[in-house]
């Protein structure tokens, strides 16, 4: 078992994380690969905690990205790391994701409101109500990031990554899962996820916003997993990586804009129920069709790429 590293801190240095990542190779066993990838994303999560707590929008964005990468990594290696402790930690990561996501949704909505009069946003009806809501959301998030619950989450994650029950599980299957080379495992896993995404997206234009959101989550899961593998495995056997990432990013951008519009409308309704009538730039039918066409085209090109294995 690799020597445990020190607990991630908010001052983790990017160059040290990059050195750790460069140690991976196509034949490395999955348990070692999981630790290296998960350590990196956990360190990135902790590195942006302070800025996020101080209401830095970029810190919030980067912390959400790190968290999404970490959750995708756990899911990517789920057959191997599935244990009782991991299940508890996944629920805690959902809690953190909900906090970060709620504040980000507010930022997107405020930007849409501001866009109706960018030169004089203070003249927008009830614009201050949106600002007050943002301040309240930031206060809740900052308190959460300073809480014992958050500290325990980071500490337990660090211990679980290094030496959780999954790492000592007895039995031939568990040992085989830990010892499987990361290269072949990645190719098979990415192929399965890609096929699932393409199947789910076939009726995209007729989907409800809720089902479309599920496709977006599948897209993000696959995209982030490929990105992690692409950084770690510079091997011709996975030459499909860059082309797949290009198409997935295009689809993710379009689906993200559609989801942002749905969330913005929900927040707008919420404030209007409180008596605040504020204008907001929203997607019309034409804009929605344009984004759906772009997503469908991206998946069409993804489907034409060669298989992973």
The two three-digit tokens of residue 233, written as one number? 């495995």
Helix (H), strand (E), coil (C) string for 15-73: HHHHHHHCCCCCCCEHHHHHHHHHHHHHHHHHHCHHHHHCCCHHHHHHHHHHHHHHHHH
The two three-digit tokens of residue 265, written as one number? 């409308």
Per-residue pLDDT averaged across 86-100, rounded? 95
pLDDT-based confidence at residue 10 (cuts at 50, 70, 90): very low
Cα separation values, 73 from 37, 76, 149, 192, Å: 7, 5, 22, 15
Instruction: Give the rounded percent of residues in the chain with a pLDDT score beyond 90.
Output: 61
Whether residue 230 is predicted with pLDDT greater than 80 in this model: the reply is: no
Per-residue pLDDT averaged across 64-75, rounded? 94
Per-residue pLDDT averaged across 34-56, rounded? 94
Between 89 and 18, residue with greater pLDDT? 89
Per-residue pLDDT averaged across 217-228, rounded? 90
Whether residue 243 is predicted with pLDDT greater than 90 in this model: the reply is: no
CA distance 269 to 234: 48
171: left (phi over 0), alpha (psi -120 to 50) or beta: left
pLDDT-based confidence at residue 210 (cuts at 50, 70, 90): very high
Closest CA to 189 of 15, 7, 37, 5: 37
Q: Hey, is 181 helix, strand or coil?
A: strand
Whether 197 contacts 222, CB under 8 Å: yes
pTM: 0.83
What integer pLDDT is reported at residue 274 of this predicted model? 78
Closest CA to 111 of 226, 7, 260: 260
- pLDDT tens profile 246-270: 999 999 999 999 999 998 888 888 8
Q: What angle do CA 98, 46, 105 make, to 5 degrees?
A: 30
Cβ neighbourhood burial of 194 (10 Å; 0-12, 13-18, 19+): buried
Between 230 and 51, residue with greater pLDDT? 51
| DSSP letter, residue 165 | G
CA distance 66 to 81: 19
Per-residue pLDDT averaged across 82-110, rounded? 93
Whether residue 9 is predicted with pLDDT greater than 90 in this model: the reply is: no
Whether 200 contacts 213, CB under 8 Å: no
CA distance 154 to 8: 8
Whether residue 8 is predicted with pLDDT greater than 50 in this model: the reply is: no
Per-residue pLDDT averaged across 216-232, rounded? 85
What integer pLDDT is reported at residue 4 of this predicted model? 41
pLDDT-based confidence at residue 236 (cuts at 50, 70, 90): low
What integer pLDDT is reported at residue 278 of this predicted model? 82
Per-residue pLDDT averaged across 5-23, rounded? 41
Whether residue 67 is predicted with pLDDT greater than 70 in this model: the reply is: yes
- Specify which residues 181 forms β-bridges with: 29
Closest CA to 24 of 230, 237, 189, 224: 230
- For 29, phi and psi rounded to 5 degrees? -65, 150
Contacts of 21 (CB under 8 A, 6+ apart): 36, 37, 40, 231, 232
Q: What angle do CA 60, 64, 68 make, to 5 degrees?
A: 175
- pLDDT tens profile 131-189: 898 999 999 999 999 999 999 999 999 999 999 999 999 999 999 999 999 988 988 99
Closest CA to 295 of 258, 242, 240, 241: 258
What integer pLDDT is reported at residue 238 of this predicted model? 57
Closest CA to 231 of 3, 20, 7, 16: 20
What integer pLDDT is reported at residue 235 of this predicted model? 57
What integer pLDDT is reported at residue 15 of this predicted model? 38
Output the average pLDDT for the chain. 86
């Amino acid at each position: 078992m690799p020597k445990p590293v020190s607990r991630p801190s908010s001052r983790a240095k990017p160059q040290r994380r990059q050195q750790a990542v460069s140690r991976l190779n196509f034949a490395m066993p999955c348990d070692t690969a999981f630790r290296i990838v998960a350590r990196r994303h956990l360190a990135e999560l902790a590195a942006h905690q302070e800025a996020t707590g101080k209401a830095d929008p970029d810190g919030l964005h980067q912390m959400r990205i790190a968290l999404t990468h970490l959750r995708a990594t756990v899911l990517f290696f789920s057959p191997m790391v599935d244990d009782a402790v991991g299940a508890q930690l996944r629920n805690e990561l959902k809690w953190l994701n909900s906090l970060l996501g709620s504040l980000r949704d507010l930022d997107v909505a405020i930007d849409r409101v501001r866009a109706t009069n960018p030169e004089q946003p203070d003249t927008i009806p009830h614009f201050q109500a949106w600002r007050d809501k943002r301040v309240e959301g930031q206060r809740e998030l900052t308190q959460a990031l300073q809480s014992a619950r958050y500290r325990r989450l980071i500490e337990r994650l660090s211990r679980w990554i290094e030496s959780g029950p999954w790492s000592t599980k007895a039995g031939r299957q568990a040992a085989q899962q830990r010892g499987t080379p990361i290269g072949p495992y990645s190719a098979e896993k990415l192929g399965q996820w890609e096929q699932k995404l393409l199947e789910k997206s076939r009726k995209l234009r007729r989907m409800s916003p809720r089902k479309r959101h599920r496709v977006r989550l599948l897209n993000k899961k696959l995209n982030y997993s490929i990105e992690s593998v692409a950084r770690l495995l510079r091997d011709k056997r996975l030459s499909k990586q860059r082309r797949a990432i290009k198409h997935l990013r295009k689809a993710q951008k379009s689906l993200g804009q559609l989801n942002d519009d749905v969330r913005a409308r929900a927040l707008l309704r919420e404030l209007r129920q409180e008596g605040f009538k504020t204008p907001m730039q929203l997607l019309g039918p034409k804009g929605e069709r344009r984004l759906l066409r772009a997503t469908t085209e991206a998946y069409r090109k993804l489907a034409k790429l060669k298989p992973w294995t």
